[in-house]
Amino acid sequence: MDSLGDTSGMSSSAVPVCSSRCLLSPLSRSLSRSGKSILHIDPNNYYGGADAAFSLQEAETWASSITAATDNDRGTFKSASITKPDGNTGLSFPRAYTLALSPQVIHARSKLLSQLVSSRAYRHVEFLAVGSFYIFKPTTRSSQKPSLVRIPSTREDVFFTTAIPTKAKRGLMKFLKFVLGYDSEQQLETWQPYADGPLADFLKNEFKMDAELQTYILALTLSLDGLITTRDGLSTIYRHLTSMGVFGPGFAAVYPKWGGISEVAQVACRAGAVGGAVYMLATGIREMEMSGDSIELRLTSGDTVKTRMLVRNDKNAEVGNGVSRLAAIVGSPLKSLFEALVEGAPLPAVAVITFPAGSLMTTSGKAYDYPVYAFAHSSDTGECPVGQSILYLTTSTTPDAKEILAQSLQLLSEAIDADHIPLSLFQMYHEHGRGSVASRPDGSIFNFPDASLSLLFDDSTLEPVHEAWKQVMGEAEVDTDYMTFPDREGVMDDEDMYD
């Protein structure tokens, strides 16, 4: 149980309690900057919780701990394993690598980026361009090897692509124009009858798209089950299209260097400490006792803390299926995936590849019903040495998921270069179950939902952070103060590393 609390106005021995999960870290920072006393505890000995990133040695230790843990102790992680070839594998030293447990890309129009700017935390996170989105094409009678086809996501892309027939291009152009005004009164009448149904049905009925063209659109949503609703699908694609070019030509999304979303947690924790928050890793809550408006917490460290407000993350509630992930370090720079295709665009550090539902086969010979997504990361992410890359593959957890991810890794390697298939140097597989998905205010205790499994950073996950902030601060505070911090007086940027 990860927790956050506030004890402003109480005795000096009483301090609040909080978690180092990615989204609770900015919360503790915001509260500490708003004059609250914050104690931020986490039973893990690392920052970020389910959003953490590990060196190779840390990854092996973590995987072993998940394997050895009981169901209650491992939280929403259900299994983890490490695979590496025998002998001299070509790996560098362990800390030359950073493997993210939950890699996510962030649209340029994301509210998260706006909050990082208003809170001044953006100065300490380096963002890299997410380049092309690709569709995986399996072997056919006319093609003896699998291939990758780039997804056009602007009108110019559609015009120049040779992968889509002319008639289909017109339908795609019409759809892209529709999405840019999808929330207008006229367009609402078109899609609202389909709002809660699959986006695929809307594309088929209103834009006459065939199954193949639908996969191009669905791939941009990064939907884990491929069944995203029309309402959510249009919103996601709108954000993708309007994010294009915001930070530079040729890309719509970014990725934080040095470990992805976990880097945001690290920066927030350090900035919170500058603001007066106290952090305790490898510390949990052993017992909790309520007395009036006071909560007494007995910690596993032996300390006792009193607080008037507690925000905690219950990691054990499981709701539905989760995701299976495979992170693979490969001995190749995979240069063909990281090309700048627009003049003046930065060299991308991340590429996204979609294996559409039905494009892979299970060991029993049946078509796999779920999509698989692969994030290819170059060494520019800081996650591996020059000359190597990391492939993160994700799909919904099923009995066939582990074999499907292994198959996807092999086919992706062949599609990139069938003549020089890069050697896999290290693999980490893990399954992440779904935890609680809604916040539950309960008097002086705020139960925080578990980490999102989405591959696109979901702005809706920021809402519980704001709810918790308001509950701790009280109604007297105005929302304009939320996540908006002035520069510290008399401190220059290069002097204040984490403000």
Q: Find where tokens 């601060």 sit.
A: 473
Cα–Cα distance for residue pair 167/290, rounded to 1 Å: 67
Better-scored residue on pLDDT, 412 or 41? 412
pLDDT at 74: 66
C-alpha distances out from residue 329 to 54, 130, 217, 348, 402, Å: 13, 19, 29, 18, 17
Q: Is the pLDDT of residue 71 over 80?
A: no
pLDDT surpassing 90 at residue 203: yes
Q: What gap in Å lies between CA 423 and CA 394, rounded to an integer?
A: 20
**Fold observed for domain 2-50+260-316+438-481:** FAD/NAD(P)-binding domain (3.50.50)
Predicted local confidence at residue 462, as pLDDT = 84
Give 168's Cβ-side CA count (13 Å radius). Answer: 18
Confidence of residue 473 (pLDDT cuts 50, 70, 90): confident
The terminus-to-terminus CA distance of the chain in angstroms comes to 28
**Distance from the Cα of residue 60 to its chain's centroid:** 22
Task: Average the pLDDT over 353-370 and give the result.
Answer: 94
Encode the chain in three state secondary structure. CEEEEECCCCCCCCCCCECCECCHHHHHHHHHHCCCCEEEECCCCCCEHHHCEECHHHHHHHHHHHHHCCCCCCCCEEEEEEECCCCCCCCCCHHHCCEECCCCEEECCCHHHHHHHHCCHHHHCCEEEEEEEEEEECCCCCCCCCEEEECCCCHHHHHHCCCCCHHHHHHHHHHHHHHHCCCCHHHHHHHHHHCCCEHHHHHHHHHCCCHHHHHHHHHHHCCCCCCCEHHHHHHHHHHHHHHCCCCCCCCCEEEECCCCHHHHHHHHHHHHHHCCCEEECCCCEEEEEEECCEEEEEECCCCEEEECEEEEECCCCCCCCCEEEEEEEECCCCHHHCCCCCCCCCCCCEEEEEECCCCCECCCCCECCCCEEEEEECHHHCCCCCCCEEEEEEEECCCCHHHHHHHHHHHHHHHHCCCCCCCEEEEEEEEECCCCCCCEEECCEEEECCCCCCCECCHHHHHHHHHHHHHHHCCCCCHHHCCCCCCCCCCCCCCCCCC
Cα dihedral sign, 112-115-121-127: positive
pLDDT tier at 388, thresholds 50, 70, 90: very high
Cα(498)–Cα(399) distance, rounded to whole angstroms? 44
Please name the residues in contact with 185: beta carbons below 8 A apart, sequence gap of 6 or more: none
Mean pLDDT of 376-388: 97
CATH of domain 154-243: 1.10.405.10
The model's confidence at residue 147, banded by pLDDT at 50, 70 and 90, is very high
According to CATH, where is 1.10.405.10 located in the chain? 154-243
Q: Residue 13, exposed/middle/buried by CB under 10 A (0-12, 13-18, 19+)? A: exposed
Residue in this structure with the two tokens 């004059």, named with its chain if needed: 35
Is the pLDDT at 78 greater than 80? The verdict is yes
103 in Cβ contact with 260 (< 8 Å): yes
Q: What are phi and psi of 307, to 5 degrees?
A: -150, 155
Compute the chain's Rg from CA coordinates: 23
Instruction: Enter the tokens of residue 324.
Output: 């299976």
Greatest mean pLDDT among 64-78, 359-373, 468-482 lies in: 359-373
pLDDT higher than threshold 60 for residue 499:
no
Owner of token pair 């791939």: 219
Where in the chain are all domains bearing CATH 3.50.50.60?
2-50+260-316+438-481
The tokens for 212 are 């193949």
Q: What is the mean pLDDT of the chain?
A: 85
How far, in Å, CA of 218 to CA of 226, rounded?
Answer: 7
Which tens digit of pLDDT belongs to each residue from 166-201?
A: 888 888 999 999 999 999 999 999 999 999 999 999
Amino acid at 417: D
Whether the pTM exceeds 0.75: the reply is yes
Task: Say which range, 161-175, 266-280, 424-438, has the weakest mean pLDDT.
Answer: 266-280
Instruction: Give the C-alpha separation, 462 to 476, whole Å.
Output: 21
pLDDT higher than threshold 60 for residue 256: yes
